[in-house]
């Protein structure tokens, strides 16, 4: 098993929107009163209770699961990477338990830094499920992490529906989890004076399963604050990502009273971020500022990833633009063509591409000294591409040329640091008195009276009465919460397919916000979704410097001294750029007569290697091959009972022709690579057929996190969610401006394309009559 990247995505700080534990007093465990969280989808409960000491290093825990749960695990640090994972599963009427830890996206190995003792009298396996009660000693801190036994730390859970490979063996391997999630464990309310007396007599030898009853009370709540005064706004924009920040800037520039709401917190130093690597202490060089720290985004205490989706989504100021590799490809004219699904009136890509490039120029020499670093993989891959008829150029110098072309990766870094909309559009917005920016505020729904939106509902009572923020007369709401966040808000607001609105209606937290069924607006929210299918090819060449495979333990904790010193002195060197070094495109014809575009990204190092043959990990590099513009497969996203966004239908290879075309492109690259001296294909290795490699590719690894289409733009309310002005069908004043309106994938990574579409969308919104 390889741990999926998504398992790492957890927020360590979650003021809002994260479910919290409640009290559970267990008669089957000496009436100890635990803090308990139960996942509403699978019915698995995770519990903790501590001694009275607020600095305890141990706790008593429980995992209780119904029949059908093959295994379950509790991750102590709020993520599966570099944090202890306590696991249990039933086997022939008994429980098998283990402690594991994973340093990367690989099978977790045994963890020996703590002591686990199963409490037999409270643990059992029976016809309705199983329960593991255990004592965990030396469990509140470990190398590289800890949690507060007197606070509200974030915990993570994982669940498997497939039995582990060798159920009798506590060291057994197991398949990747089927689901996971996060919650806030209120450890401050989990200290019980009966803790020690239970241990003194609670670990007995009783074999009959005890009868358990529950007593549930409310969790410790936030003190009641004085009623907040409601401030109305002309425009309320939900989500401070590529779309929302651009929209907020353009609308505030037009003199409108604008509120921009972000559910997460700061990112770069400019926004108040202070997540600084150990080697840069005393500077303002945060993880989000330093381009070379991009690969460290996926490990450690990853508070920046959204907690309510199985896929990577940035929940912080800047959204995905603050946590991506910052590849910055100006959109082509074809991207906005009617052939790509855009309504008439959107064919102005050139004009808006020029606007965003004027404010935020691209560069393919990100180091301010003008030098290119770590170019060995670039030099090798040139030898693969040139025999295939590729030409080299500065790619953004001719944004429409995307066939048999390659060049240095283009970024929107400025002076060796991440820029993006945060350092441009948000900066100018914040200088205006008619603009307000809220962070750590979670929007649950829009509030509407029939077709008219009156404001937004949040769960922060400091921003308005009961968390409600109103609009001015004729005011408008713009959803820019992303391809997963925007549908969630629409579902809770009674907009979308009936099955998803019903899921939201049954949720105990937001169900009361869903309007009466007579007011529901039936639209295909969550359908028509696309994402680039991507496959990694890993090569070895003696000239390549894999740069320690961008291992977080190196680039974050202990980088190469000369490179760190160079960056701290002048913002130059390898840390001035993210890991990609080369990009390429090629148009590929398919047997269905349609043309699809293949995109490639080349970077030194690799995140995961699969081979039974020896290789030199210091000499490897990765070519990630995507399909982009022209793909025909579609998927569907929705929510589960916990309101967590997920893929109901994966968007990759639903049309088998997409796979046929991508295989063609991969074969071309591999066959050409055979002619390059000293170049070895490591993954897939020589014993693995390419077709088998692609057919068996892990869907979670195939995901590029370039999701589009869940609130598709169009000309009919039966096939789209928003009209040609980005207004939600059936409403008077609700709009969507983010990646979710894109009808089909653009040629390249969508960062710049989303910003260009936001520029155009705001122009259309301001031109509409009846606004504020």
Q: Spot the catalytic one: 42, 124, 541, 706.
A: 706
- Asked if the peptide bond before residue 684 counts as cis, ω within 30 degrees of 0, the response is yes
Strand partners, 127: none
- For residue 761, is it left (φ>0), alpha (ψ between -120 and 50) or beta? alpha
Interatomic CA distance for residues 370 and 361, integer angstroms: 15
Q: Is the dihedral of CA 287, 291, 297, 303 positive or negative?
A: positive
Give the residue among 626, 619, 623 at the shortest CA–CA distance from 549: 619
Q: What share of the chain is helix, strand, coil (3-state, %, to 5)?
A: 25, 25, 50
Interatomic CA distance for residues 365 and 372, integer angstroms: 6
CB contact at 8 A, 58 and 136: yes
Phi and psi, residue 428, nearest 5°: -70, -30
Interatomic CA distance for residues 209 and 609, integer angstroms: 45
CB contact at 8 A, 452 and 731: yes
Interatomic CA distance for residues 120 and 376, integer angstroms: 58
Total length of the chain:
772
Give the residue among 415, 301, 345 at the shortest CA–CA distance from 9: 301
Interatomic CA distance for residues 339 and 283, integer angstroms: 49
Burial of 221 (0-12, 13-18, 19+ CB in 10 A): exposed
DSSP state of 742: -
Tokens of 102: 């994973």
Angle at 377 between CA 662 and CA 290, to 5 degrees: 100
Interatomic CA distance for residues 467 and 473, integer angstroms: 19
Burial of 27 (0-12, 13-18, 19+ CB in 10 A): middle
For residue 41, CA distances in Å to 308, 518, 646 come to: 13, 27, 13
Interatomic CA distance for residues 88 and 97, integer angstroms: 4
Tokens of 285: 């060089």
- Judge whether 706 counts as a catalytic residue: yes
CA atoms within 13 A on the CB side of 227: 3
Considering only the C-alpha atoms of the chain, give the largest distance between any 2 of them, rounded to a whole number of Å. Answer: 77
Strands (DSSP E) along 107-161, which ranges?
A: 109-110, 115-118, 124-126, 129-137, 141-142, 145-146, 154-160
Using the structure block, give the residue that is written with the tokens 């957890």: 10
CB contact at 8 A, 705 and 9: no
Interatomic CA distance for residues 364 and 358, integer angstroms: 16
DSSP-derived pairing of the beta strands 636-639 and 216-217: unpaired
Q: How far is CA 9 from the centre of its chain?
A: 6
DSSP-derived pairing of the beta strands 734-736 and 468-479: parallel
Coil, helix or strand for 86? strand
Q: Is the dihedral of CA 233, 239, 240, 241 positive or negative?
A: negative
Active site residues: 706
């Amino acid at each position: 098993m390889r741990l999926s990247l998504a398992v790492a995505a957890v927020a360590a700080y979650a003021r809002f929107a994260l479910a919290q534990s409640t009290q559970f007093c267990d008669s089957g465990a000496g009436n100890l009163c635990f803090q308990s969280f139960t996942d509403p989808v699978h019915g698995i409960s995770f519990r903790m209770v501590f001694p009275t000491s607020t600095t305890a290093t141990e706790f008593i825990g429980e995992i209780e699961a119904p029949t059908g749960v093959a295994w379950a695990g509790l991750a102590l640090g709020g993520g599966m990477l570099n944090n202890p994972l306590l696991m249990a599963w039933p086997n022939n009427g008994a429980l098998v338990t283990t402690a594991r830890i994973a340093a990367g996206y690989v099978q977790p190995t045994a963890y020996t830094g703590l002591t686990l003792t199963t409490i037999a009298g409270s643990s059992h396996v029976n016809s309705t499920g199983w329960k593991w009660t255990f004592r965990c000693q030396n469990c509140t801190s470990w190398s590289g992490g800890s949690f507060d036994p007197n606070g509200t730390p974030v915990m993570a859970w994982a669940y498997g529906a497939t039995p582990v490979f060798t159920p009798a063996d506590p060291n057994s391997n197991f398949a990747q989890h089927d689901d996971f999630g996060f919650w806030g464990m209120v450890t401050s309310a989990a200290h019980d004076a009966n803790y020690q007396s239970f241990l003194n007599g609670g670990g007995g030898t009783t074999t009959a399963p005890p009868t358990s009853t529950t007593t549930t009370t409310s969790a410790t709540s936030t003190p009641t604050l004085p009623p907040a005064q409601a401030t109305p706004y002309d425009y309320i924009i939900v989500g401070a990502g590529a779309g929302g920040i651009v929209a907020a800037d353009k609308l505030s520039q037009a003199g409108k009273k604008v509120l921009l709401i972000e559910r997460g917190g700061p990112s770069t130093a400019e926004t108040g971020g202070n997540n600084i690597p150990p080697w840069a202490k005393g500077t303002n060089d945060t993880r989000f500022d330093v381009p070379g720290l991009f690969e460290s985004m996926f490990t450690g205490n990853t508070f920046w990833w959204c907690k309510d989706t199985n896929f990577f989504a940035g929940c912080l100021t800047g959204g995905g633009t603050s946590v991506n590799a910052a590849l910055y490809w100006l959109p082509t004219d074809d991207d906005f063509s009617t052939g790509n699904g855009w309504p008439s009136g959107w064919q102005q890509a050139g004009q808006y591409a020029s606007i965003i490039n004027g404010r935020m120029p691209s560069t393919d020499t990100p180091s301010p000294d003008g030098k290119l670093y770590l170019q060995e993989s670039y030099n090798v891959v040139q030898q693969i591409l040139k025999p295939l008829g590729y030409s080299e150029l500065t790619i953004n110098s001719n944004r429409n040329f995307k066939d048999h072309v390659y060049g240095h990766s283009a970024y929107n870094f400025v002076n060796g640091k991440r820029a993006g909309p945060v350092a441009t559009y948000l900066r100018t917005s914040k200088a205006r008195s008619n603009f307000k920016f809220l962070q750590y505020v979670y929007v649950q729904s829009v509030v509407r009276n029939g077709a008219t939106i009156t404001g937004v509902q949040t769960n922060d009572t400091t921003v308005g009465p009961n968390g409600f923020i109103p609009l001015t007369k004729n005011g408008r709401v713009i959803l820019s919460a992303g391809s997963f966040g925007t549908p969630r808000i629409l579902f809770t607001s009674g907009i979308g397919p009936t099955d998803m609105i019903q899921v939201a209606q049954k949720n105990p937290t937001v169900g009361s916000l869903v309007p009466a069924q007579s007011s529901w607006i039936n639209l295909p929210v969550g359908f028509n979704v696309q994402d680039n299918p991507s496959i990694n090819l890993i090569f070895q060449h003696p000239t390549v410097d894999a740069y320690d495979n961008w291992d977080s333990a190196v680039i974050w904790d202990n980088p190469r001294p000369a490179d760190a010193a160079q960056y701290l002195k002048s913002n130059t060197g390898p840390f001035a750029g993210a890991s990609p070094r080369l990009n390429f495109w090629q148009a590929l014809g398919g047997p269905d007569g349609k043309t699809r575009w293949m995109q490639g990204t080349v970077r030194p190092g690799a995140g995961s290697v699969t081979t039974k043959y020896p290789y030199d990990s210091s000499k490897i590099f990765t070519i990630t091959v995507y399909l982009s513009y022209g793909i025909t497969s579609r998927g569907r996203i929705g929510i589960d009972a916990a309101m967590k966004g997920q893929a109901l239908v994966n968007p990759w290879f639903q049309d088998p022709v997409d796979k046929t075309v991508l295989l063609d492109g991969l074969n071309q690259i591999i066959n050409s690579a055979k002619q390059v001296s000293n170049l070895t294909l490591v993954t897939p290795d020589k014993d693995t057929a390419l077709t088998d490699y692609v057919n068996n590719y892990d869907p979670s690894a195939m995901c590029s996190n370039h999701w589009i289409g869940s609130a598709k733009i169009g000309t009919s309310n039966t096939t789209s969610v928003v009209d040609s002005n980005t207004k939600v069908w059936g409403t008077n004043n609700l709009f969507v401006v983010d990646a979710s309106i894109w009808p089909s994938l653009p040629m390249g990574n969508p960062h710049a394309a989303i910003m260009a579409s936001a520029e155009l969308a705001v122009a259309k919104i301001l031109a509409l009559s009846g606004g504020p």
